[in-house]
Amino acid sequence: MGNVLVFGASGQLGQCLAYVAEARNTPGLVFLAEAQANILDPAGLAALFADYRPAYVINCAAYTAVDKAEDEVEIARKINRDGVENLARLCSEHGTVLIQISTDFVFAGTGNQPLLETDETVPISLYGLTKLEGEQVIAPLTNRYFILRTSWLYSEFAGNFVKTMLKLGRERDELRVIWDQAGTPTYGVDLAGCILHLIETQSQEFGLYHYSNEGLTSWYDFATAIFELSGTVVKTVPIRTAEYPTKATRPLYSVMDKTKAKTQLGVAIPHWRESLQTCLGRLK
C-alpha cells in the first residue's frame, strides 16, 4: 500500500485517524510532527515526499477559526488554499493520491433540501471561501484526489461542541443554544474510518464527496441529546441565530446528501445519535 502521510496530525481529525488506524491495525500511516510538516513550506514538503514517497497524503491541516478568519483572511487563505496547492502539486509529481478535507461552509445554507456535490457553492464567510478555494486548486493539478466535505465535527479528541457542552452542562444550570441552524453532526472516528476505507480498498473512484453522519438536527437538539445520553442535568433554552451574533455568518441549512459516498465508495454511515452515544461512552 505504501506510506500515508498525515498532515495536521495533532488536530482533532488527525488524532481520530491515529486512533482508528491503531484499532484496525492499518499499516503505513506516518503522523508528521507539526515542525516538519508545514504545508506552506514547499522545500520542506518536497523533502518529505522524496524521503517517504507516499502513496497517499491526508490533509487535515486547516485554518478553522471561523470568526477570526473574517479578520485574518490572508493567513486563512495561505493555509486553506496555498497549502493545499503545494500538496496537490507534489502529489501530481509523485503519483500520490491526495485526500483533502473540506466543509459544509462552502454552501450559502439558504435552501431546505439535502445538498448534493453538484449544488452551487456560495460561501457566506471568509472561512468558507478559503476552503472552497482550496478545493478549486486541486483538479487543475491532479486527477488522483478525494475531497471529503464534512460538517459539525466532534470526537473524544481536541476541542469541539460535544466536549464544550459537557463542560458547560456541569458548570451551569441553564444553557441557551441555537435552534434555527440545521445540519448533521459528524463523529470524527466515523470520518477517519471512511478515509481509511478509501486507502484500504485502494478506491479509484476519485472526486468530490459529502460525508457526515445520517439524519439532521439543530444545535439545540444536538445539545439536548448530549445531555440526555450523558445523564447531564441542565436546562436548555432554544434561541434564534439573531440572538447569538457572531462575526462570521453561519449557513442556516447545511444537511449534505451522502448518496454518492454510499454508492460509489461503499461506506456505511451510522445515524448521528448512534455515533454520539458511542463517543459519549468512550468519553466516560
Catalytic residue IDs: 127
Q: Which three cell numbers stand for residue 49?
A: 515526499
Distance between start and end Cα atoms, the chain: 35
Q: Which three cell numbers stand for residue 159?
A: 476541542
Residues with Cβ within 8 Å of residue 52, at least 6 apart in sequence: 3, 5, 30
Alpha helices in the chain (DSSP H): 12-24, 42-52, 73-77, 83-94, 126-136, 161-171, 188-200, 219-230, 259-260, 272-283
Distance CA 223, CA 161 (A): 8
Q: Is 238 within 8 Å of 179 (Cβ atoms)?
A: yes
Residues with Cβ within 8 Å of residue 63, at least 6 apart in sequence: 69, 72, 75, 76, 79, 80, 127, 130
* CA neighbor of 187 nearest in space, from 61, 283, 94, 79: 283
Distance CA 184, CA 47 (A): 39
CA 163 remoteness from chain centre: 17
| C-beta atoms surrounding 22 within 10 Å | 10
